[in-house]
Amino acid sequence: MIQKTKVPLLLLCLAICCLAETFTVQAAIRPIYSKVVGIVDGDTIEVIWEGKIRRLRIWGIDTPEWDQAYSKQSKEKTRALLLGRDVELFVKDVDKYGRLVAVVIANHVNISEELVRSGLAWVHIYYCREPICNDWKDLQRKAKKRHIGLWKDSNPIAPWVWKSMHKW
């Protein structure tokens, strides 16, 4: 009797996993249209989705933490680009904090790319592993060479390094 219940349960689990994978791929291909209603920091925003305000992490980048140099500038750039605007979201994931993680497009501008180009974000070394990330790394090198944004500092500390040095 135990074996008979294990097999259907296993099949049910496999079916759920397959459906979840299908949903993720479809969500990444088809945009969700939303409106930005809040800016938390340079790489986290609030959008209206499914009738609720939801936090969203901008995919592929990392901006300075709230008490790091250039945090305010990064947040202000994100505010100027997004607050009150209609956006296209290409959902990639949900992070450990329950935030959607998505590519954000506003007025045909990829926000991750614009923040890197402006020298106000790093290409995230752990999460940005797609071909577009190589283009963004080139933009990051150019911003560094031009000493713009956070690259005005001789050796800015990436947020993932800073967090490892400042355990809360």
Q: Is 57 a catalytic residue?
A: yes
Identify the CA nearest to 111 among candidates 131, 146, 85.
85
C-beta separation of 144 from 156 below 8 A: no
* Phi, psi of 21, rounded to the nearest 5 degrees: -65, -40
Of the listed 57, 113, 114, 117, which one is catalytic?
57
Q: Is 99 a catalytic residue?
A: yes
Burial of 135 (0-12, 13-18, 19+ CB in 10 A): middle
- Bridge partner list, 58: 102
Of the listed 65, 79, 85, 88, which one is catalytic?
65
Question: CB-side exposure of 120: number of CA atoms within 13 Å?
Answer: 21
Cα–Cα distances in angstroms (integers) from residue 103 to residues 17, 61, 80, 108, 162, in the given order = 23, 10, 17, 12, 24
Q: Is 46 a catalytic residue?
A: no
Of the listed 54, 76, 85, 99, which one is catalytic?
99
| Positions marked catalytic | 57, 65, 99
